[in-house]
Amino acid sequence: MKRDWFDKKLRRDAPKRKEGFRHLPLGYQELDRKQRMKIWLRDRDMTLADLAEKCGIHFSYPGKILIARTEKPSPEVRERLLAAGIPEDML
């Protein structure tokens, strides 16, 4: 159920073709960073709260760093996120 919602949202946010039909971009790199991050989390059956728990940080902090980009991670938190497996291009 959770994945169905995400897939629908991803299609809804995808760019429109001239004919008006929505499509998913062909390549992973064509997606924006936020969509790639959500796919990375989904593929690992993780939530942002799970990631926060794994890194030992507040549950809302990964969303501020990785999704909204309202805050920059400290070097210590950055190392924890990299150790958790977050790709470098996502930070």
pLDDT in tens, 17-46: 444 445 555 576 678 888 888 888 888 889
pTM over 0.85: no
* Domain residue extents for the chain: 2-90
Quote the CA–CA distance of 60 and 52 in Å, as a whole number: 8
CB 46 within 8 A of CB 81: no
Pick the CATH number of 2-90 from 2.40.110.10, 1.10.260.40, 3.40.640.10, 3.40.50.1820: 1.10.260.40
Closest CA to 62 of 42, 31, 41: 41
pLDDT for 90 equals 83
pLDDT in tens, 66-76: 888 899 999 99
The pLDDT-based confidence of 50 (bands split at 50, 70, 90) is: very high
Q: For residue 66, with 0-12 CB atoms within 10 Å meaning exposed, 13-18 middle and 19 or more buried, which class applies?
A: buried
CB 73 within 8 A of CB 79: no
